[in-house]
């Protein structure tokens, strides 16, 4: 399959609109959690600890004799043509002879982890040789010894990893994880209803015109992260439990007094469209997609106090027997021209240095979008919510969910 050229797929406006409509109609990459709708099983998983016991051993690599792999990922998180094929993946298979079964198998970090946890504990095959999960749960899996160490000599193109992503606090030197896509959490507003904009979380919560018209995200690290930043807390640093609780108390207050109407995952987009909410804590890529689909009616901005920066990363589960095949796949997706093609479809932050230059030639309509290719100014405005300890993860999740459940 040949590479799309500028002016054709996926830059064609009609095709892009159809893709975006499909995104709205289907569960998208980020998990969906209706306000108050978290089940007890997910609650328990969110607070689970690493447990004890002997760590499983990595499976024997059989890549040399078995040229195949299974890749599990979120919905609508790879380039796709109008026939339902994945062009970059088709070319990878043709080039390497490695057959890839791509499974849209992840709809939530906790629920996916819950399905495979028992196999991981035993070092067994989980039905995927690589999976892309959000880095807070990747950190948990690394702590538990549930992922395999990369052989970076099989992945020379990973030298193209953006420097800001090269050393995660949970995985120095990216030994066990490699970013796939990322994004920002900030504030969006209806430009007609709020012509002066919203530049801070304080404005979002204290504007009387927004009483009952504010939405926030069900992702704890984004909603509480923005509140903590507003309170002057460095969410990337060694903040205290008291500082987290102070932010969660603000969240609780705004829910109880009715300023916050909804706490949701991606379905917050529907609330913005039908004007149930006029402003929201949201994800950058969603607002770009919404404006393209429904007209340029919304503005996205990083709050003055800062926004959050999250990433989903490749890992190789401990029971995979296709380690080298996966490393070959990751290396391919770290080619700048391949990364640019994926970015043109998914509209999230690509982790690959050089992808922007490739996009200027191949997909000029996205090449200067700083929500896909962030510049130094944009990166200086966002912060990664630091990795929590097992105890913190349990305590903080319980506090956050208590607000969702009305406790």
Residue 133 pairs with which residues in a beta bridge? 313
CA distances from 83 to 9, 86, 106, 184, 381 (A): 12, 9, 22, 30, 39
For residues 120 and 237, state if they share a domain. no
For residues 227 and 298, state if they share a domain. yes
CATH number at residue 228: 3.40.190.10
CB 285 within 8 A of CB 183: yes
* Cα separation, 130 vs 137, whole angstroms: 14
Look up tokens 């198998």; give the residue. Answer: 105
Q: Are strands 307-315 and 382-383 parallel, antiparallel or unpaired?
A: parallel
Secondary structure of residue 205 in the 3-state scheme: helix
Number of domains in the chain: 2
255: in domain: yes
* Cα separation, 338 vs 381, whole angstroms: 27
pLDDT tens per residue, the chain (407 residues)?
Answer: 233 333 334 444 444 444 444 444 444 555 444 444 444 344 444 445 445 568 999 999 999 999 999 999 987 789 999 898 999 999 999 999 999 999 999 877 878 999 999 999 999 999 999 999 999 999 999 999 999 999 999 999 999 999 888 888 899 999 999 999 998 999 999 999 999 999 999 999 999 999 999 999 988 999 999 999 999 999 999 999 999 999 999 999 999 999 999 998 767 888 999 999 999 999 887 787 788 778 889 999 999 999 999 999 999 999 999 999 999 999 999 999 999 999 998 888 999 999 999 999 999 999 999 989 988 899 899 999 998 988 999 999 999 999 988 74
3: in domain: no
Instruction: Give the range of the structural domain holding residue 87, as residue numbers without chain letter.
Output: 13-182+311-373
For residues 253 and 395, state if they share a domain. yes
5: in domain: no
Residue 366 pairs with which residues in a beta bridge? none
């Amino acid at each position: 399959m040949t590479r799309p050229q500028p002016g054709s797929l996926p830059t064609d406006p009609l095709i892009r609109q159809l893709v975006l409509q499909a995104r709205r109609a289907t569960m998208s990459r980020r998990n969906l959690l209706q306000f108050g709708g978290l089940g007890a099983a997910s609650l328990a998983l969110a607070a689970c600890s690493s447990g004890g016991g002997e760590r499983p051993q990595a499976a024997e690599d059989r890549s040399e004799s078995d040229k195949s792999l299974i890749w599990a990922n979120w919905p609508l998180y790879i380039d796709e043509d109008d026939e339902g094929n994945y062009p970059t993946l088709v070319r990878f298979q043709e080039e390497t002879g490695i057959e890839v079964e791509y499974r849209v198998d992840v709809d939530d970090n906790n629920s996916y982890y819950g399905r495979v946890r028992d196999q991981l504990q035993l070092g067994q095959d989980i039905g995927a040789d690589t999976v892309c999960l959000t880095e807070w749960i990747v950190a948990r899996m690394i702590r538990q010894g549930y992922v395999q160490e990369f052989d970076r000599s099989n992945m020379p193109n990973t030298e193209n990893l953006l420097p800001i992503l090269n050393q995660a606090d949970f995985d120095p030197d990216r030994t066990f994880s490699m970013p796939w896509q990322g994004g920002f959490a900030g504030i969006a507003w209806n430009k007609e209803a709020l012509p002066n904009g919203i530049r801070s979380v304080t404005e979002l919560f204290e504007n009387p015109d927004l009483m009952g018209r504010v939405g926030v995200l069900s992702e704890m690290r984004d909603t509480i992260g923005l509140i903590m930043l507003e309170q002057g807390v460095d969410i990337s640093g060694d903040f205290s439990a008291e500082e987290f609780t102070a932010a969660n108390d603000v969240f609780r207050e705004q829910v109880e007094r009715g300023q916050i109407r909804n706490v949701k995952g991606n379905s917050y987009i529907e609330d913005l469209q039908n004007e149930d909410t006029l402003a929201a804590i949201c994800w950058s890529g969603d607002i770009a997609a919404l404006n393209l689909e429904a007209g340029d009616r919304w503005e996205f901005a990083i709050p003055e106090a800062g926004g959050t920066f999250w990433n989903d990363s490749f890992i190789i589960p401990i029971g995979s027997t296709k380690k080298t095949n996966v490393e070959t796949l990751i290396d391919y997706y770290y080619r700048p021209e391949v990364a640019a093609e994926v970015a043109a479809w998914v509209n999230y932050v690509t982790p690959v240095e050089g992808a922007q230059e490739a996009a200027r030639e191949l997909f000029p309509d996205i090449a200067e979008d700083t929500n896909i290719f962030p510049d130094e100014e944009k990166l200086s405005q966002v912060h990664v919510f630091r990795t929590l300890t097992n105890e913190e993860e349990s305590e903080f999740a319980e506090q956050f969910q208590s607000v969702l459940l009305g406790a």
